[in-house]
Chain A
Amino acid sequence: KQEVTQIPAALSVPEGENLVLNCSFTDSAIYNLQWFRQDPGKGLTSLLLIQSSQREQTSGRLNASLDKSSGRSTLYIAASQPGDSATYLCAVDNNDMRFGAGTRLTVKP
């Protein structure tokens, strides 16, 4: 059974700092890995999707990497802003999507 773990559970940083969120998974036979953002009381917004054959994806200040062999992914956020404050979820897809519990990020002005 696929298990997805996200560390840390919560993170608070000052504005402008670069930061890394971590995701690990137990079954490396995945189709893809997706990072989502969730604002309080809202649904999930897809940020980046990395296919199993890819090593990384970039969108603006976000960069996600994937190392299937070690069962790890990281989400790098450059020059963080208060508007980045949200919960970030990673999910791995091998026939169905399994989610981590998320990292709650607070960026202080």
Chain B
Amino acid sequence: NAGVTQTPKFQVLKTGQSMTLQCAQDMNHNSMYWYRQDPGMGLRLIYYSASEGTTDKGEVPNGYNVSRLNKREFSLRLESAAPSQTSVYFCASRSDKEVFGYTFGSGTRLTVV
């Protein structure tokens, strides 16, 4: 099925470890996004990419880096994980045609101990 695929689904890290969250979409969307979701706070935008080769900061970019590897893939990297980064991370993509809105992946549940 067409959509947004995130890996891994679950991850436990020790403080200071690094890791990369992967996201790929097969809908030929130009725009891709990374969000984090914390209890009672809704989703907050970390970084987004309006097109291949471009990335921009969102609301909460500190402690994260991103790479738009190609049109399909947009990865999120934690260089030195902290307990405050324990969260559920969602990747999304958006069609240029407004009518289709956003499509989300199923999320990565990250725990930093």
Contacts and interface: CB of A to CB of B under 8 A. Distances in A.
For A36, A41, A42, A97, the residue with the greatest tally of chain B CB atoms inside 10 Å of its CB is: A97
Interface in A21-63: 31-32, 34, 36, 41-46, 49, 51
B44 to A, nearest CB: 8
Interface stretch (B12-20, B69-77, B78-86, B98-106): B98-106
A97 B101 CA distance: 10
Binding site secondary structure of chain A: strand
A89 B43 contact: yes
14 contacts: A32-B98, A43-B90, A43-B104, A43-B107, A44-B90, A49-B100, A51-B98, A51-B99, A89-B42, A91-B43, A96-B45, A96-B58, A97-B102, A99-B42
Interface residues of A, number: 23
A101 B41 contact: yes
Nearest to B109: A41
Interface of A: 4, 31-32, 34, 36, 41-46, 49, 51, 89, 91, 93, 96-102
Interface string B26-44: 0000000101000011111
Interface of B: 33, 35, 40-45, 48, 58, 90, 92, 94, 98-107, 109
Given A96-B58, A99-B43, A101-B40, A42 B106 contact: yes
Given A49-B99, A96-B48, A44 B104 contact: yes
Nearest to B103: A46
Contacts of A96: 33, 45, 48, 58
For A32, A51, A96, A100, the residue with the greatest tally of chain B CB atoms inside 10 Å of its CB is: A96
Nearest to A36: B104
